[in-house]
Amino acid sequence: MRQIASVLKSNGTEGELVMSFRDIDPEEIDLKEPVFIIFDGLPVPFYIESLKKKGNTKAIVRLTDISSYEDAEELCSKAVYLEDDSAGEHQEDSLKALIGWTLYKSGDEFDEEVGTICEFYDIPQNPCIGVETKNGEVMIPLHEDFIVAMDPENMEIVLELPEGLVP
């Protein structure tokens, strides 16, 4: 997904929103396709019911199921995304490039070597890497929140992994 807008503020009492768009003209958005807003780490789809362009980069937007001032206020400062197939392909290619890298688990005193990345699993909304460890291959979710550091020159990546994920 790629970010196309940010919700600046609510507009009126009927749930309309003022959005600032980037890298896209608001009138170019396909109203038959959903936009997404992240709640609790998950993308939630909304359809644009109406869009009134204001200037070059802003628009007053009404989304499905947002029908009150209170609903609109909950969305203030949230990012708005579109599914981007080409971005997904680019992300998959860049994640496949991690094959052969050494994975380290972030520790309190030092980083502990886990193993070598040997596979990339393209699971929708949950990309994972296969890591060859001394105990065999383990599958680890590759989420941006887990990444502590990356060293492309030495082909090393450090992840903060939840306890018990790696034997």
User: Parallel, antiparallel, or unpaired: how do β-strands 156-159 and 102-105 relate?
Assistant: parallel
Does some domain include residue 88? no
Average pLDDT, the chain: 87
| Interval 23-30 mean pLDDT | 86
Looking at the domain assignment, is residue 164 inside a domain? no
The CATH number linked to 125 is 2.30.30.240
CATH number at residue 65: 2.40.30.60
End-to-end CA distance of the chain: 32
Cβ 10 vs Cβ 69: under 8 Å: yes
The answer to whether the CB of 3 falls within 8 A of the CB of 81 is yes
Residue 43 lies in a domain: yes
| pLDDT in the model for residue 86 | 42
User: Are residues 78 and 103 located together in one domain of the fold?
Assistant: no
Structure-block tokens of residue 19: 């959005």
* Whole-number Å distance between alpha carbons of 37 and 81: 6
Are 61 and 118 found together in one domain?
A: no
Flag whether pLDDT at 22 surpasses 90. Answer: no
- pTM exceeding 0.75: no
Among residues 52, 83, 114, the one where a domain terminates is 83
Write out pLDDT tens, residues 56-105.
889 999 999 999 999 999 999 999 998 865 444 444 555 678 889 999 99
| CA dist., res. 128 & res. 117, Å (int) | 10
How many structural domains does the chain have? 2
Full residue range of the structural domain in which residue 18 is found = 2-83
Compute the distance between CA of residue 91 and CA of residue 79 in angstroms, rounded to an integer.
20
Residues 69 and 122 reside in one and the same domain: no
pLDDT of res. 89: 46
Instruction: Give yes or no: residues 76 and 98 share one domain.
Output: no
- 103 and 70 within one domain: no
| Of residues 16, 17, 22, the one with CA closest to residue 2 | 22
Question: Mean pLDDT over residues 116-135, rounded?
Answer: 89
CB 86 within 8 A of CB 1: no
In this prediction, residue 84 carries a pLDDT of 67
Q: Are the beta carbons of 77 and 83 closer than 8 angstroms?
A: no
Q: What is the pLDDT of residue 87?
A: 43
Sequence-distant (6+) residues with CB within 8 A of 54 are: 18, 60
